[in-house]
Amino acid sequence: MVEEYMPPKVWVWDSENGGKFANINRPISGATHEKVLPQGKHALQLHSLATPNGVKVTIMLEELLAAGYDAEYDAWLVDIGEGDQFGSGFVELNPNSKIPAMLDSSNGQRIFESGSILLYLAEKFGAFIPDNRTECLNWLFWLMGSAPYLGGGFGHFYKYAPEKYQYPIDRFTMEAKRQLDVLDKHLADKRYMCGGEYSIADMAIWPWYGAVVLNVVYEAAEFLDAASYTHLVRWAEEIEARPAVQRGKMVNRSWGPEEGQLRERHDASDFDLHTQDKMGD
């Protein structure tokens, strides 16, 4: 029997506790070191990593470019495992020290939170928001509220926690499956999240829930019985096949097969010339 944990009257931070991410988690905000952010040639400067939240934005940028919009961008790698998000330049861009964050140097606007970046880009270019704007935002904000349960809840306790405990895994698995069921039922008679038109709602939801049912994130598809969510799987596979999605998945990626890593992206030709397998030592 596991000894019951009794919380103290006042919580005190133990920097050694926290498992895999203990070295970058802390209960205070702000910069830990001075580091100026690099500046590229394009107006849009993205500082990110190819986590699900980061991939949302690179998919959007690549989709804009594929659709013919002048959305060229510089993408700079933020190594959150090394604490790059606590550099002074990044904290100035996003006081919450989370990726992704973006600067639009054409007007000096900083944009942080992935949902905010998607909406900013959609409004800037007039693209990927359907006629029923409110329905699109319903699902965008649903994702922003729901994904922490999938990532910080289910993903953490199932995949990353230093010790496995049934109660939190059961609790967050129940919620993850409820959310998968919400999406599956919604997509039963719709091609995309907002009907027949591909939108920022799809780009926001796919890197989390699409990647989970395709067994890319957390390697939990069998555990979650993902194959039973047939409408969701159909939607996830269709979006994964989009060329812009394939490119967006590569940008700011620093793990996996080297041919799938484009750690920095400054030009469309980088996909052919500067993936990690072509960079040498």
From the CB of residue 257, how many other CB atoms can be counted at a distance below 10 Å? 10
Tokens 């993408």 locate to 75
Work out whether the CA dihedral 114, 115, 120, 122 comes out positive or negative: positive
pLDDT at 5: 86
Question: What is the sign, positive or negative, of the torsion defined by CA atoms of 155, 160, 165, 166?
Answer: positive
Contacts 24+ apart (CB under 8 A), 275-279: 275/250
Which residues touch 54 (CB under 8 Å, ≥6 apart)? 48, 99, 100, 114, 252
End-to-end Cα, the chain, rounded Å: 50
Q: Are 45 and 103 in contact (CB under 8 A)?
A: yes
Question: Does this model's pTM top 0.85?
Answer: yes
Burial 143-162 (b: 16+ CB within 10 A, else e): bbebbebbbebbbbbbeeee
What is the dotted CATH code of the domain comprising 133-246? 1.20.1050.10
Task: State the Cα torsion 188-190-194-199 to the nearest 10°.
Answer: 110
pLDDT at position 206: 98
Domain ranges of the chain: 1-128+251-281, 133-246
Tens digit of pLDDT per residue, the chain (281 long)?
Answer: 667 889 999 999 887 766 666 667 889 999 999 999 999 999 999 999 999 999 999 999 999 999 999 999 999 999 999 999 999 999 999 999 999 999 999 999 999 999 999 999 999 999 999 999 999 999 999 999 999 999 999 999 999 999 999 999 999 999 999 999 999 999 999 999 999 999 999 999 999 999 999 999 999 999 999 999 999 999 999 999 999 999 999 999 999 999 999 999 999 999 999 999 999 65
Topology of 1-128+251-281 in CATH? Glutaredoxin (3.40.30)
Helix (H) or strand (E) holding 141: helix 133-148
What confidence score (pLDDT) does residue 4 get?
A: 85
Q: Select from 112, 133, 126, 125 the least CA-distant residue to 56.
A: 112
Query: Based on C-alpha coordinates, what's the Rg of the chain?
Result: 19
To the nearest 5 percent, what fractions of the chain are helix, strand and coil? 50, 10, 40
